[in-house]
Amino acid sequence: MKMVEIYDTTLRDGTQGEGVSLSSLDKIKIAQRLDKFGVTYIEGGWPGSNPKDMEFFKEIKRLHLKKAKIAAFGSTRRGKTNTKEDFNIKALLDSKTEVVTIFGKTWDLHVKDALRVSLEENLKMIYDSIAYIKSRGRYVIYDAEHYFDGFKANREYALRTLEAADEAGAEMLVLCETNGGTLPGEISEIIKTTKSVVPAKYGIHTHNDSGLGVANTVIAVELGCTHVQGTMNGFGERCGNADLCSIIPILQLKLGCRCVSDKNLRTLTELSHFISEVANVVPAKNVPFVGDSAFAHKGGIHVDAVMKNIKTYEHIEPELVGNRRRVLLSDLSGKSNIKYKTSEMGLELEMDPIQLKELAHDIKILEHKGYLYEDAEGSFELLVRKKQGTMKNFFDLEGFRLIIEKRQENEEPFSEATIKLKVNDVTEHTAAEGDGPVNALDNALRKALEKFYPNLKKMHLTDYKVRVLDGKEGTLAKVRVHIESSDKEQTWSTVGVSENIIEASWQALVDSINYHLIKDKQTKKKKKQ
Amino acid sequence: MKMVEIYDTTLRDGTQGEGVSLSSLDKIKIAQRLDKFGVTYIEGGWPGSNPKDMEFFKEIKRLHLKKAKIAAFGSTRRGKTNTKEDFNIKALLDSKTEVVTIFGKTWDLHVKDALRVSLEENLKMIYDSIAYIKSRGRYVIYDAEHYFDGFKANREYALRTLEAADEAGAEMLVLCETNGGTLPGEISEIIKTTKSVVPAKYGIHTHNDSGLGVANTVIAVELGCTHVQGTMNGFGERCGNADLCSIIPILQLKLGCRCVSDKNLRTLTELSHFISEVANVVPAKNVPFVGDSAFAHKGGIHVDAVMKNIKTYEHIEPELVGNRRRVLLSDLSGKSNIKYKTSEMGLELEMDPIQLKELAHDIKILEHKGYLYEDAEGSFELLVRKKQGTMKNFFDLEGFRLIIEKRQENEEPFSEATIKLKVNDVTEHTAAEGDGPVNALDNALRKALEKFYPNLKKMHLTDYKVRVLDGKEGTLAKVRVHIESSDKEQTWSTVGVSENIIEASWQALVDSINYHLIKDKQTKKKKKQ
């Protein structure tokens, strides 16, 4: 079995992505998870360019990772300086990592236009930097920046930069497709030639500017590269780095390579979502392997076929990467999808064919209004229960009023909600404040209901999302609110839609509480039996 | 120059994507734009599976497209039926399109498990369906579903299905990588063998389940396929179809093929955004070629190098696909980015080095709080003006109060805003209603200010977005509101952040109005000169 080293640069190259920003503490959290997952290297940062990365290197050393080696990243010494006194080289050594990754220039254009030194001086800069850091006992990886563009512009010079790095003792030569514009055919030809002229251990580092980041990496591994650099979720500058969440499963499940254990591979989806969450990036749904839609079936014919034999429309078993199959409710689908969905949720569907047809029709109309049940299974269950008559009415709203008042330009507004409702003919009229209008409303509703349903204290809202549905009318637009709630046992999602954000939030709040009350009642019933 | 036909299936396969839903009218709008862009074929729908698609075929015929041919999509006849009487074949002919695309089964597994007919019967179904539709004067394209999986499972049978289609007179044989699990190396080997055994005109149709949709298509074209099927923005079931927004620029700019005119290629980004908007899908930022981040530079070293020579970190000129270079403001960057940004905005930066340093520091703190200036250039300009002392104070808020009241469960709440403010020591105290709290506040603020600034009538809000920043605390979470506004001359964006959605919206609203008032003042000044 071919071993392939995974070199994760989410913490360095990944943070160059638009909207990605990680604190030192975030970086520590991610590094610990990457270690647990089993990557070989974690590139922690560029100490010469970003002084706050030093904090990370110091802290991570104390934590004694199990498997992963921490790498510090930096450029060669600058032109005409003494290597030992170069600021960047010093910072790399001061970060005290076991591994140092040095990047150097391959492309003559960059040497002339960006570095502004002679071609010969650049070769010396590469050689000196690697040799010196090696002499200080570090394991050195060499990143040949812009390797493929450099090769296309001046093949002989590009190869000489690799020779310089190899002679200086670099343990791994990494061919970097920095601008992301090289096609698979070129990648393949260039790697073959390079390996025949400069025999060494090779790695690959690609970017996704042409949508080819994953393909170019896979091709390089097929040609003998044993070290892969990339980022989780493909975070990175412009269109991102090669996405390790695609590359690792391809190498391991399709090419028979070994990157991490099969057991850990089953945690890939969770890891991907964890990293998105820490980075505060909404995970894309339609991404390969780990996306929520990656194994979601919508077309009726596909749902039908998958129910007969899953191989018909799935290239791997979703569980191998910790993902799951989903059947979507949508206006493209019909009664069979509702049946599949309810059975998947363990919900008994006590409904005659006419009711079922009506329900399918109702869902179509609601989806047309903007409700989305694909990720609001709580609200979906309540719809089914209402239709089949197994929904209990836990309270009746008599009304609520929200007041938001701002008295000075630099002061946060004050939010207060009053609510009046009835439970079994007992009226409750109460008020509460909150940090915002929805929070105040949530507080008031709970305050009114907890007297009757004390177990409500066990549940809390864990996520609140707002999506503007039709942006083109400004503040008049319709919004969809999506709420996630949990108690100790489970998590559920609900949805609300209105032109009024308070009304949309109210609908999702009420569904969330009703769902909890139903489940709570079922639990009590079971305990009694 | 090699001509490659673009076969767009956004309207059919694209709508299988999660969250993508198009009405007949939406489909017409998109088809007209695709025609203008210059694709060869537009697949309009599957008349046999979705009766509402008939409406589209009828309507589009009346519109006389300039270049694109409309294709109707459907399966071969069912097993053991008479071709002429087959429901699906009838529906295809009834749609009266010039082109009919028939898909048939290649994979013996599917023939047995999904169709449940004999292998020989499937060959007949392919032959009969194509031959009959040809005899009715249609141009027939044959989609060999699951071709690559079928080839791997039973090569001889897969090839025989192609032969059947070829003998029946199909004008183009399209090899479909339906499950998206095949690697570039396999694609390449299978296409070579196929072409040598069954010489014909070939097309390619791939999916993105392994992140290889674009690569597999590009490889197929390099091997001689002259017809490419895909969707705009890569919409489609699971991880989507091959993304034409990447494929077209690669073929045309990197492989020297001709798909559309160079002039039309320069409208690709606009087309991509238009289709996202009609489909009500938020465009992903980091997608190749057409994404907002595709040519966005964040790292200081990259910004520096790109300012020296754009080829250093860009694989193509963004203008070739109608996109643009952006320099991002972020905590990774510094004073040089602010300078670049202000000069890009045509804003004079009258600031001494100390002020500039302070501004960079302020931006870091605000971004840490959740403000994002990357796409809120209006708010950014106001920050710069405040720092350099060129910001005028147009009004002083004395206070506002918002009341949202709901009196019945099935009634939309009522929203009213009162506001008190001062302009040049004149107090204005007024009230307005709205369809939601933010709309009411917007209405009240304008009502109070229009008396003093009548040109405010010319501006209106065009987009309102809400992003929950830290989801894990439920309704207590911090939100970022992003508002886009325009008048006749220009469009600008502003941002607000708070735990209170009303406060965040207020900040963005006030910035938006202030920005307009400044621009309005400048225009008046110019006219006077």
Number of H helices, E strands in chain B: 18, 18
Region A106-122: mean pLDDT is: 92
Which residues of B fall within a CB distance of 8 Å from A293? Answer: 17-18, 238-239
Among the listed residues B91, B402, B506, the one whose alpha carbon sits nearest the alpha carbon of residue A415: B402
Cβ <8 Å between B330 and A255: no
Which residues of B fall within a CB distance of 8 Å from A410? Answer: none
What gap in Å lies between CA B188 and CA B442, rounded to an integer?
59
Cβ <8 Å between A461 and B468: no
SS3 string, A87-107, reads: HHHHHHHHCCCCEEEEEEECC
Helix (H, G, I), strand (E, B) or coil at A147: helix
Report which DSSP code applies to B498: E
What gap in Å lies between CA B494 and CA B508, rounded to an integer?
5
Tell whether the model's pLDDT for residue A449 goes beyond 80: yes
What gap in Å lies between CA A426 and CA A434, rounded to an integer?
25
Interface of A with B in 98-127 (CB under 8 A): 109-110, 113-114
Sheet of B479-486, strand order: B460-468, B479-486, B491-498
Q: What is the pLDDT of residues A172-228, one digit of tens each?
A: 999 999 999 999 999 999 999 999 999 999 999 999 999 999 999 999 999 999 999
Helix (H, G, I), strand (E, B) or coil at B486: strand
Least CB–CB distance from B291: residue in A239, A315, A466: A239
Amino acid in position B475: T
Tell whether the model's pLDDT for residue A337 goes beyond 60: yes
Residue A301 binned pLDDT confidence (cut-offs 50, 70, 90): low
Best residue of A290, A500, A507 to probe chain B, by most B CBs closer than 10 Å: A500
Among the listed residues B329, B322, B361, the one whose alpha carbon sits nearest the alpha carbon of residue B344: B329
Q: What is the pLDDT of residues A270-298, one digit of tens each?
A: 999 889 878 877 788 899 999 989 998 87
Residue B251 binned pLDDT confidence (cut-offs 50, 70, 90): very high
Bridge pairing between strands B69-75 and B99-105: parallel
Q: What is the pLDDT of residues A422-431, one digit of tens each?
A: 999 999 999 9
| C-alpha distances out from residue A168 to A171, A172, A203, Å | 9, 11, 17
Cβ <8 Å between B464 and A477: yes
Q: What is the pLDDT of residues A341-391, one digit of tens each?
A: 787 777 777 788 888 888 888 887 887 777 878 778 899 999 999 988 888
Report the interhelical angle of B53-62 vs B24-37 (nearest 10°): 50
Residue A332, pLDDT score: 44
Q: How big, in percent rounded to 5, are the helix, strand and coil portions of chain A?
A: 45, 20, 35
Task: Using a CB–CB cutoff of 8 Å, tell me whether A475 touches chain B.
Answer: yes
Torsion of CA B376, B378, B382, B388, to 10 degrees: 90
Best residue of A406, A468, A495 to probe chain B, by most B CBs closer than 10 Å: A406
What gap in Å lies between CA B277 and CA B282, rounded to an integer?
7
What gap in Å lies between CA B99 and CA B45, rounded to an integer?
12
* ipTM confidence score: 0.77
Could you give the domains of chain A? 76-256 (3.20.20.70), 261-327 (4.10.430.20), 395-452 (3.30.160)
Amino acid in position A189: E
CB atoms < 10 A from the CB of B244, how many?
A: 32
Task: Using a CB–CB cutoff of 8 Å, tell me whether A393 touches chain B.
Answer: no
What gap in Å lies between CA A481 and CA A500, rounded to an integer?
10
Helix (H, G, I), strand (E, B) or coil at A29: helix
Q: Are B22 and B10 in contact (CB under 8 A)?
A: no
Among the listed residues B522, B382, B393, the one whose alpha carbon sits nearest the alpha carbon of residue B449: B393
**pTM of the predicted structure, to 2 decimals:** 0.78
Burial code (b: 16+ CB inside 10 Å, e: under 16) for A418-427 equals bbbbebeeee
Task: Using a CB–CB cutoff of 8 Å, tell me whether A333 touches chain B.
Answer: no
Task: Compute CA B243 distance to the chain's CA centroid, rounded to the nearest angstrom.
Answer: 11
Q: Are A1 and B267 in contact (CB under 8 A)?
A: no
Which residues of B fall within a CB distance of 8 Å from A493? Answer: none
Lowest mean pLDDT among A84-98, B301-315, B437-451, B500-514: B301-315
